[in-house]
Chains A and B, each alone.
Chain A
Amino acid sequence: MADLVYLIPLLPFLGFAINGLVGKRLPKPVVATIACGTVLGSFILSILCFKQVIDEGAFTAVLYDWISVGDTHIQIAFQIDQLSTMMMLIITGIGFLIHMYSDGYMHHDDGFHRFFAYLNLFIFSMLLLVMGSNYMLMFFGWEGVGLCSYLLIGFWYKNKEFGVAARKAFIMNRIGDLGLLLGIFMIFNTFGSIEYADVFKNAYAHGDSTNIICILLFVGAMGKSAQIPLYTWLPDAMAGPTPVSALIHAATMVTAGIYLVVRSNVLYIMSPNASELIMYVGLATAMIAATIGIKQNDIKKVLAYSTVSQLGYMFVALGVGAYTTAMFHLLTHAFFKALLFLGSGSVIHGMGGEQDIRKMGGLKKALPITHITFLIGTLAIAGVPFFSGFFSKDEILAMAHGHSDIVFTLLAITSVLTAIYMFRLYFLVFRGNFRGTHHQKEHLHESPMSMTIPLIVLAILATAGGFLGMPGWMSDNHILNHFLHPIVEGASHFHPSEFFEYTILSVSIVVLAVIIFAVRNYYITKSIVPESDEAESGFSKVLSHKYYIDEIYNTLFVKPIEALSVFLHKVVDNQILDGLVNGISWCVKQSANLFRLLQDGKLEWYMVGMVAGVILILVFNFFM
């Protein structure tokens, strides 16, 4: 198997090359087959890797020396262990489903081949990110996914706003990337190597510098995984086509930060301060994004803030040292959030491009499969018992409880908010009466098979995925913890008491029932439709404006930089630099004006000049 590992990233890259270079001349089915087929091939190979890791343990496949300088050798090498195979399965598995879905969703788009080329490039980069055996290769993939994210957010580049959103995502990510890059420099400076194995082996010898390294790496994770203060790009990233939102901005790329921290858990275990920071940032992000999510009226924006909030959850888990729990939530979140996004894509498709939930309603009849699968996703993310989100979220809550009561309480409140905004979304979209135009009502239709099959598969995964990590009161065998144990050997394991788990189970059932009833009562029985943004007042106005964070950033960062640019343009460039150049030419011009008076057109004067010159030469020759 080890000698076939290189094919896993190579196949999507080939797909990218073919579709990118000649895709324009190929018929659409061929383009889609190439794109889906290569990802499917990677998925099958990933399963084989997974099997080998289970049977024989982790291994590293070295391809060749990439960079050799002095004693430093940076290799192109793939580290196939429990963590990377898990990520590979998520990326290629969900990636394949979303490729399939895109075939239906993007079918009428002119940029069909371009879209699939970018998607394949994304899969390639993401695989490099998780498979690389050193920070350099990971950084390569990290930048690659950032690029693909930019390309795909701005996929419909003729719309100026979408292009701006793409730039925003790219720039926000660059800020984080700088932190990551500095972190990698620090690692190289401290350990003299950026191979995972070398770094983690020597980590205990350099305990004092891990704190700063961890914080710098976390800055990178903040950017990629949309944490405060760098989260504002993710809601704007919804400008991209919906399959992109599902694949990149929900299931895979945004979890790269989680992967980074889990991969470096040896360092994080030794730096409690950095872990504490991660926890608080995650907590704040989870809460703030959830409160914003309640007031959003764009179906994809709600899901985007939900993603930010769920990523916050994962970071809380990382902060309290529950690395496997974070991975568990990453896995279940990948299932149900991809499902929800694809479901929303199906809704948007059926509504002919409409994204405003105030103009939907009652879609249950027209889109039965989408409705059922979306409901399953909602139940899963809200944490309804025995759906996947329930297991992973309760595990995070339990871990937070083991850490501190305040964190637990705030997280619990956030999960209540999660349930509220998700059921608000569900009821407004699928129940009640249709509020769209007559034209939209006539054209409502269920999506084609290529779109509904991924929904059904993801719905099954979102339902059953949680049983990979059953809590102590259900089963002694937490499959995922057991599987990931070799990666996080150093992490402490906290086991919540059974009493606590029963309490949280019963309380969550009651609370969820109340929420569902209350939300249904508010939006269906009373049939209240959210007001337009202008009509909001008080705190809800602040929420619907997303705490004015974009405006604050605008004032604090964008405006001063723009003012500086104007200053550099108007004063430094136009006045000083141009003044210098123009001044020189002015001097030349003035002296030329002076000297041209000598040429007065009178022949005698020219003659006098010549004779005087000759005489001067003679005088110099004979008398000087």
Chain B
Amino acid sequence: MKVPIEHYILLSTVLFCIGVMGVLLRRNAIILLMCVEIMLNSVNLLMAAFSTYHGDAAGQIFVFFIMVVAAAEVAVGLALIVMIYRNFKTTDINLFNKLKW
């Protein structure tokens, strides 16, 4: 049986909102990065769902691009966090408030 498209949309929306709330509310930089990943992947999920729905493979190919870019982004992000941890001995973002006027 075929899962209706609405379910995919709903799931993606829920995942995206979880990601947004995580980014807004959590303080640990690693969890922040993970939440960003959740947001990205909710979009990926939606893209793949629409791709099937329309019978067009372009959407699924795009998902791979996004995953590659996300992997690169995470690599840079984690590297940054490692450097920050070495300096501050913490990954609590509320302590990273030196980057201001």
Contacts and interface: CB of A to CB of B under 8 A. Distances in A.
Contact of B100 (A599, A604, A611): A599
Contacts of B93: 603-604
A607 B96 contact: no
A194 B9 CA distance: 93
14 contacts: A599-B101, A600-B100, A601-B98, A601-B99, A601-B100, A602-B94, A602-B97, A603-B32, A603-B93, A604-B24, A604-B93, A604-B94, A608-B24, A611-B20
Interface of A: 596, 599-604, 607-608, 611
A611 B24 contact: yes
A596 B100 CA distance: 8
Contacts of A599: 100-101
B82 interface: no
The 4 residue pairs across chains A and B that have the minimum distance between CB atoms:
A601-B97, A601-B100, A603-B93, A596-B101
B23 interface: yes
Contacts of A608: 24
A607 B94 CA distance: 13
A431 B26 CA distance: 113
What secondary structure prevails in chain A residues at the interface with B?
A: helix
Interface string B82-95: 00000000000110
A603 B99 CA distance: 10
A604 B94 CA distance: 8
B99 to A, nearest CB: 5
A596 B99 CA distance: 12
Contacts of B99: 601
A600 B93 CA distance: 13
Contact of B24 (A596, A600, A607): A607
Interface string B60-101: 000000000000000000000000000000000110111111
B20 A600 contact: no
Contacts of B96: 601, 603
B101 A607 contact: no
B16 to A, nearest CB: 11
Contacts of A601: 96-100
A603 B23 CA distance: 9
Interface string B17-31: 000100111000000
A607 B39 CA distance: 13
Contacts of B94: 602-604
B97 A600 contact: yes
Contacts of A604: 24-25, 93-94
Interface string B31-55: 0100000000000000000000000
Contacts of A603: 32, 93-94, 96
B23 A607 contact: yes
Interface centre among A600, A602, A604, A608 (most CB of B within 10 A): A604
Nearest to B94: A602
A611 B101 CA distance: 23
